[in-house]
Structure 1
Amino acid sequence: MSTEIRLAVVGAGNRGAAYTHIAGATGLARVMAVAEPRESRRTAMVPRQAIDPGLVVDGWRKPAAGRRRGRHWLARIVGRKAVRVSSFGSLYHFRPENRPDGAADRCLDCGVEAVCPYSAKKLYMPPSPPRRPTPGRSR
């Protein structure tokens, strides 16, 4: 029996994409399926996590719709009958002792924010639009 943790992601937004990247990078888990209503987010996660297209659905209602269908979807992920489903989270990784060397107390003031996998700025703030050149000014 494999000890690999297999994940089904419900919600592939900023947080879901960032946390699945961290889980995969640590080697602790593998993303097997994704349920996400926004096509762009859903399709972006598939190649990054090497997800079987048959395990990609356009929202949480499909895997949760009826006990039979939900269990079938989960059985394809865990390779056997799904006995229990959990939704959980913790501050296991987001603790002071896991903070990168040289990190500040707040992400927006931090010198290592650009390379930090825990950056709140990257997780929660929209990217800045590209700056347009000012007419009449040379670079």
Structure 2
Amino acid sequence: MKTRNKTKSTKKLILKLLIGFIIGISFGFGIGKMVKSNTKRINSIETTLQQNCNCENIESGNSYTGIQFSKSDGISNTKLNFTLMNCDFTSSSEKEAKRLNDILIDKVEDYNTVDFITFHFKSGEKNETVKIKNGTIL
């Protein structure tokens, strides 16, 4: 009798471990796919910015994917930060950020999934930050 209960509990344990393993593998592949997609999108945005912006250097900063809450920025799913060094533009930084945002909407696949993007315009005399949430300058 004890051996029957022992084999049943062993089978249940093996089944639980197998199900846990399958769920873990599926979750791991999903996370890997999300990270790869996010990296591809960031590289595409950076390339598009380099092609359409008259800047000395463009760097991608921290990027966040997943639900985030900020008192100043509210709730967002994807946040991207870009630093644009020594840019040459005649309009204001807000107009330049809006122009770049419009270009990114047209040229970058899956750009519409980005909820929040921040452009840091840095030069010798000025440092300006422009935040865009869902296509609207904040």
Query: Above 0.5 in TM-score?
Result: no
| TM, length-normalised to structure 2 | 0.21
| TM, length-normalised to structure 1 | 0.20
Q: Which has the higher strand share?
A: 2
Based on CA coordinates, which of the two structures has the bigger radius of gyration? 2
